[in-house]
Amino acid sequence: MCMGFGCNSAGVTGCRIIDSPREKLISILTNAFVPCNGRFPFLITVSSIFIGGLVADKSSSVIATIAVLLVVLLGIFMTLAISKLLSKTILKGENSSFVLELPPYRKPQIGQIIVRSIFDRTLFVLGRAIAIAAPAGLVIWIFANINIGDISILTHIANFFDPFAKIMGLDGYILAAFILGIPANEIVLPIILMCYMGSGTLVDLENTMAIGEILIQNGWTLLTAINVMIFTLLHFPCTTTLMTIKKETGSIKWTIVGFLLPTICGIIICIITNGIWNLVR
């Protein structure tokens, strides 16, 4: 779980140390419930604009931080809850005992550690990310720049998803951005901004106020922000993580489960949040 806060793909790889196949599989499937480093900037930006922005004094940053912390705690709670559910249902079995054995002390071989870390971990993950990012960027460009009728393919996609997205308290462009952002979580916000601004390329603004103005002009409210933060936490892992799940489990079935499990949880919680908000409003 802790490694997943840096990168869910690295967190899945780190599950190799678990001896029990059943518990290893549970850990792999629930690793995506904690926000990776690619999701934190989006969470912080949305929280700063819409939740921290509720107050105008110096406490706004504190309130925004608390909101992000609550999202992280939700992820930890979902990890534990889903792990318990899996262990009682499709992955039933006896819990293994935890034994911590201290190996013989040896002088660290710095060179070997560096080489193995670079080739077995860093280059492995980066290679998969690059292999996905290049074609994904081309697909996004094609969707944004090729028109069918008077509107782009991307707008057609957004219009198709819009009715379902409304039920979740989102809009079609947001949901389309999450789907097109499957290669890397970092590009979800740039895709959303690209859609709203009608740009043919990804938009990366560093000014939080400018981002907030664009989002508000396109109908974002506090409810939208809350549901976006929830779905940012609870949605399918990036492609690199899915490929890593496939390699570690050797199973397409469990890779599909790893895709669907957090996504279904995110959809259900967003629908419930949207329903409660509209009920008490």
Q: Is 53 inside a domain boundary?
A: yes
Buried-state track 73-108, b at ≥16 Cβ within 10 A, e below 16: ebbeebbeebbeebbeeeeeeeeeeeeeeeeeeeee
What pTM was estimated for this model as a whole? 0.84
d(CA 17, CA 173): 40
Is the residue at 123 inside a domain?
Answer: no
pLDDT value at residue 130: 66
Residue 117 lies in a domain: no
Quote the pLDDT of residue 197: 85
**What amino acid occupies position 190?**
P
pLDDT of residue 121: 60
Predicted confidence at residue 43, as pLDDT, reads 93
13, part of any domain: yes
At a CB cut-off of 8 Å and minimum separation 6, what does 23 contact? 95, 96
The answer to whether position 120 is within a domain reads: no
Structural domain total, the chain: 1
Which of 241, 133, 227 lies closest to 180, judged by CA?
133
Q: Supply the range of the domain harboring residue 154.
A: 3-91+133-280
Do the beta carbons of residue 242 and residue 131 sit within 8 Å?
no
Residue with tokens 């960027």: 137
Residue 119 domain flag: no
Per-residue pLDDT of the chain (281 residues; tens, 9 = 90+): 677 788 888 888 888 888 888 888 999 999 889 888 889 989 999 999 999 887 767 788 889 999 999 999 999 999 999 999 988 888 876 666 556 666 677 776 777 767 666 666 666 666 655 666 667 777 887 888 888 888 888 889 999 999 999 999 999 999 999 998 888 888 888 889 888 888 777 766 778 888 899 999 999 999 999 999 999 999 999 888 898 899 889 999 999 999 999 999 999 999 999 999 989 87
Whether the Cβ atoms of residue 64 and residue 40 lie closer than 8 Å to each other: no
In this predicted structure, what is the pLDDT of residue 141?
Answer: 79
Q: Per the domain annotation, does 124 fall within a domain?
A: no
Tell whether 125 is covered by a domain: no
